[in-house]
Amino acid sequence: MSQARPAVAARPLPLAEGLWQVAGPGITHPWDAAAYLVTGKYPALVDCGTGLGADALDSALISCGVLPHRLTAVVATHGHFDHVGDGARLSALGVPVLVHRSDAEAVRTADPARTCAETLYGTAFDAFEPVPVADGDELDLHGARLEVLHTPGHTPGSVSVVAHVGDLRVLLAGDTLWGGFSAAIGSDEEAWRHSLERLAALELDALSFGHGISRLLDDPAGRIAEARQRFASYFDPWFKPPKQLFRY
């Protein structure tokens, strides 16, 4: 069955050959984390946003020549609302939404704290049954390849994805780089340090992560090294939840 073009127009950002950013502030909804379309014969997403910008996400995909229900898979970097809140809708379209088993229960039960839906955004998470993904899994998109690395720390089931697109190896780190830390979401300092060590050992050409940028960053080795130096030197307990407005 064909799918009509959404009324909302959204402009995806081309990042590299076969790689676009298709969700995030300025593209879909302000609360959406960055989501990436990787194309080959079988296109896939890395993350998919909250669902609050679903029409805009669909519009961005269609402008890249991809009908949403034709996606091969969504690889969720972790089970948080801003990264995989649209998973229930896409799953209902028949798209497998892949979540590491250590975050799968939070997604399956719509845990209001573990998904951050209530605690940060003041809303509910739409539960769905995720497809398991594990460390070392690879998705061959026939023209591109996604390599999944389990990188716990931000959450127990956080993963990072190395997208092999063209001649580039691009790290899509989700919140493993620069994510927030809270016991309420299962953050683990020691596990996170090991994850950063693992990322530092990779041979990469560029990187991106979940929040605050809309381009690929060069010198991935240097940037990851600096992130390791800064990690857990001082926790900021004064984070401003998006669900609340502050005067100051």
pLDDT at 119: 96
DSSP structure string for the chain: ---PPPSS---PEEEETTEEEEESTTTS-TTPPPEEEE-SSS-EEE----STTHHHHHHHHHHTT--GGG-SEEE-SSS-HHHHTTHHHHHHTT--EEEEHHHHHHHHHT-TTTT-HHHHHSS------PEEE-TT-EEE-SSEEEEEEE--SSSTT-EEEEEEETTEEEEE-TTTTT----GGGT--HHHHHHHHHHHHTS--SEEE-SSS--S-BS-HHHHHHHHHHHTTSS-------TTS----
pLDDT at 10: 80
pLDDT along the chain (248 residues), means of 10: 51 96 97 97 98 97 97 98 98 98 98 98 98 98 98 98 98 97 97 98 98 96 97 92 94
pLDDT at 8: 65
